[in-house]
Every structure is written in structure tokens, then in C-alpha cells.
Amino acid sequence: MKTPSPIVIGADHAGYALKEFVKAYLTALNYDVNDCGPGGEDSVDYTDFGCMVAEGISSGRFERGVLICGTGQGMAMTANRFCGVRAALCNDLFSAIMSRRHNNANILVMGGRIIGTELAKEIVRAWLETPFEGGRHQRRIEKIDTLSAK
């Protein structure tokens, strides 16, 4: 079986606990996890950790990332400023599946103050295992990339 490519992960203080949980879950699923932090629940800015993970994707060093803050909103807004990043805020299973099928999302964003651990597990697993459908959706995501130049 092919070794899955490593996952880059980050959070803020409000997402720290869920990040630790997701990290352990990914490890149990045989993924290597590159944890950008933080290392505890002291107050930090989600932007700093969102940038680290988004840079890892934008540079091509990682194919997939996970970001968690309180709601997921700030992380998604931050990550989507980076070229080539398609960060999807998914606090439900359907969004997670569709963000892969139609949007080829490369960063999964969740809200640690919104969802519980069991739902997070389902979301993470579905998001990692659902393939991109390509076709007309490829054309559409290519149009997103042209917007960076505006």
C-alpha cells in the first residue's frame, strides 16, 4: 500500500485541543504529521499559524494541510490569500466531501469551538479519502488561480 503523503497542520489557542486530537488520529491512520504549532493554549494569532501551513502548501512542500481555530473563519481567510491554496471551511461532512469532489481543496479548515471530536474524525477521513472529480471542476479551479493577479 502507498504511504500517504505527510499532512501539515496548525491551529491557534482555540483550535489547539482539536489539533492535538486530529494529529493523533492522523498518526493512527499512518500519516506523517508536520505540526506547525502552537504547543499549548496560550493566546496566539491564528494568522501566524495559518500562514505557516498555507506557505507549506503554496510552496509545494506539502500536498494537504489542516487548520483549526475557534470557528475556522480566520484560518480560511488567511490561508486563501496564498497562491495555489484552496482552503475549505468544513464544519460538516457534506462540505468536506464536496470541497474535495468539486474544489480539490488542499487545506481542510475546522472550528474547534463548533465541532466535536467524533465529527472531526469523520470529516478528516472523508476529506482525505475523497478524490477530485476533475472535468468541468478543473476549469473552474484554474479560474480561481487567475484571480491572484487582479
Residues that bind ligand RB5 (CB under 6 A): 12, 14, 46, 69-71, 73-74
User: What is the Cα–Cα distance from 69 to 113, expressed in whole angstroms?
Assistant: 8
Q: For ligand RB5, which is the closer residue by CB, 39 or 60?
A: 39
Active site residue 102: yes
Of the residues 13, 69, 90, 137, only one is catalytic, namely 69
Active site residue 69: yes
Tell me the one-letter amino acid at 106: N
Distant-in-sequence, close-in-space partners of 104: CB < 8 Å, separation ≥ 6: 86, 132, 137, 138, 141
Tell me how far, at minimum, the Cβ of 69 lies from ligand RB5, in Å: 3
Tell me how far, at minimum, the Cβ of 66 lies from ligand RB5, in Å: 15
Q: For ligand RB5, which is the closer residue by CB, 119 or 128?
A: 119
Q: For ligand RB5, which is the closer residue by CB, 31 or 88?
A: 88
Residues in the chain, overall count = 150
Radius of gyration of the chain (CA): 14
Provide the edge-to-edge strand list for the sheet that holds 87-89: 33-35, 7-11, 64-69, 107-111, 87-89
Tell me how far, at minimum, the Cβ of 48 lies from ligand RB5, in Å: 12
Q: For ligand RB5, which is the closer residue by CB, 73 or 117?
A: 73
CA dihedral 75, 65, 24, 126 (to 10 degrees): 100
Tell me how far, at minimum, the Cβ of 105 lies from ligand RB5, in Å: 18
User: What is the Cα–Cα distance from 97 to 6, expressed in whole angstroms?
Assistant: 20
Which residues are designated catalytic? 69, 102
